[in-house]
A and B are shown apart, each in its own frame.
Chain A
Amino acid sequence: MKSVFYLLDTAPYGSEKAFGALNAAAVSLNEMEVTLGLYGDGVYLVVAGQDSKMLGVPNLSDILYSYGELKVLAHEPSFVERGLFGETLIETVELVDEEDLLEAMENSDCVILL
């Protein structure tokens, strides 16, 4: 089975990139081994307790809850740099350091940067 790694480094709301990444990841789930990697501002996607009602867009963290089998890796130093250390996170996320994130990307057949 082919594997794909979607790398997201932009904040979840304000652009469609995160929604696009989640869409792409969700539709590839049955056909491929999918990993969603979050880096830089992308890590905001897994902070728990998001409320997007006022923005009029779907709650992206609910998509992660819907696709519990999706492997989500988040770059931990990005959390620390943004003062998110100790925030409650969505259960499905695995925190990884620089080396592990890179290893996961290298081990995937293709990496798609959004």
Chain B
Amino acid sequence: MPGNPNETKLVNFAMANGTRRRIINFLANGYGNSGELENIIGTKTLAFHLKILQQAGLVKFEEGTVKLSEYGRKFLKNKTGKSEEKTMDFSQAKPVEIAEIRQLLPCIADPSKLRVSANMLPPPGGILKLLEPLFPRSNYSDRKDSLIIQKGEIITTIYGSGKVSIRMIKNEDEAKEELENLKNIINEAIAKGVAPTPREKVRVELMDIYNSLPRTNCGKCGEQGRYSFAIRLMAGQVALDRCTLLKEPEYTNNQEHLQTLTVYI
């Protein structure tokens, strides 16, 4: 049964593939006959995936059928119970420190800016997902265990393993300031001991933004027209206050509506 770090690596490797995650879920739902699996997964790669799952100790073969091993069952159980555990863990989370700035190199997309790699200790691990609501423009990816935060041009990515990467920064001082801010925001939340309330997810449609903007195509914002302003607003490339017409009394309702929408972009 996987217990030591090398065996855990095998399990992580086995579960890093979408097809194998599907196989495991099918097995958990009682499918076992390889004919059934072939129908769902396809014949070409099934044997390869089953072999890797078997090497990781997650499945076993018994009289022509495939079953979840005892370890596989436990693994799934832990996985599904994880999110509740994580929420409870927040009260025990320790304050984080930025341990080391490893690299400061030119940004690839824009060589006039810099990118920085740093490490956060202790690694945020399970609490990372819960930190998402602390940052207005952020997105947590469960599969990559990463939190991407956008603040103006600066894009910060934090990984569950503690790696932190910031790009599009002007200089080393700004990098230090950003890292310090990041640390303070996270530590403030940890000090409260309660996980932040998950942010309500609202899907903002481009046409909703477009229809709420003044129908003048005046070009005062510097864009060609209402449509291009709406696109740039959706992309976070312009701020809403660039549309000066919205400040006029006749557009008060439009402005309020757009302000609410832009929070969720």
Give A88 to B6 CA distance when docked, in angstroms.
9
Give CA–CA (A63, B106) in the complex, Å.
Answer: 11
Are B108's CB and A27's CB within 8 A?
Answer: yes
A68–B13 Cα gap in the complex (Å)? 19
Name, among A23, A65, A80, the residue most crowded by chain B CB atoms within 10 Å (CB to CB).
Answer: A65
User: How far apart sit A100 and B165, CA to CA, in the bound complex (Å)?
Assistant: 29
Judging by beta carbons under 8 Å apart, are B159 and A68 in contact?
Answer: yes
- Proximity string of chain A (58-92) to chain B, C-beta cutoff 8 Å, 1 when within and 0 when not: 11001101111100000011001000011111011
Tell whether A4 is near chain B: CB-to-CB under 8 Å: no
A66 to B109, CA, bound (A): 11
Docked-complex contact B13 and A91, CB < 8 angstroms: no
In the complex, residue of chain A having the shortest beta-carbon distance to the beta carbon of B45: A97
Question: Contact: B45 with A99, CB < 8 Å?
Answer: yes
Given contacts A66-B117, A98-B44, whether A91 and B146 have CB atoms under 8 Å apart is: yes
At the interface, yes or no: B67 with Cβ under 8 Å from chain A? Answer: no
Tell me if B's interface is mostly helix, strand, loop or mixed.
Answer: mixed
Q: How far is the CB of B1 from chain A (nearest CB, A)?
A: 16
Tell me which of B14-22, B183-191, B241-249 binds A. B14-22
| Chain B residues whose C-beta falls within 8 Å of the C-beta of A89 in the assembled complex | 13, 16
**How far is A86 from B161 in the complex, measured between Cα atoms in Å?**
18
- Per-residue CB contact flags for chain B residues 101-122 toward chain A (1 = under 8 Å, else 0) read 0110100110000010100000
Contact between A97 and B19, CB atoms less than 8 A apart: yes
Evaluate contact between B165 and A68: CB separation under 8 angstroms. Answer: yes
Q: Is the CB of A98 within 8 A of B108?
A: no
* B165 & A62 in contact (Cβ 8 Å cutoff): yes
A86 touches B159 (CB 8 A): no
Q: Who on chain A is nearest to B117 by CB?
A: A62
- State in angstroms the CA–CA spacing of A92 and B157 once bound together: 11
CA distance A74 to B146 in the complex (A): 19
A92→B165 CA distance, assembly (Å):
13
Nearest A-chain residue to B161, judged by Cβ: A91
Q: Min CB distance, B112 to chain A, in Å? A: 14
Chain A residues near B96 (CB-CB < 8 A) = none
Once the chains are docked, how many angstroms separate the CA of A70 from the CA of B10? 25
Verify B103–A76 contact, CB threshold 8 A.
no
Q: In the assembly, what is the distance between CA of A100 and CA of B117, in Å?
A: 32
- A99 and B13 in contact, given A62-B103, A63-B108, A66-B167 (Cβ under 8 angstroms): no
CA distance A93 to B16 in the complex (A): 8
Cβ contacts A5-35/B at 8 Å (1 or 0 each): 0000000000000000011001101100000
Cross-chain contact of A65 among B13, B19, B157, B160 (Cβ < 8 A): B157
A95 at the interface (CB under 8 A from B): yes
A94 lies within 8 A of chain B by Cβ: yes
Closest 5 A/B residue pairs (Cβ): A68-B157, A26-B108, A95-B17, A66-B165, A97-B45
Interface residues of B (CB under 8 A from A): 6, 9-10, 12-13, 16-19, 42, 44-45, 48-49, 52, 55, 102-103, 105, 108-109, 115, 117, 141, 143-146, 148, 157, 159-161, 163, 165, 167
Beyond A62-B103, A62-B105, A92-B144, 14 additional pairs, beta carbon < 8 A: A26-B108, A27-B108, A62-B117, A63-B108, A65-B163, A66-B165, A68-B159, A85-B55, A89-B13, A92-B146, A94-B17, A97-B17, A99-B44, A99-B45
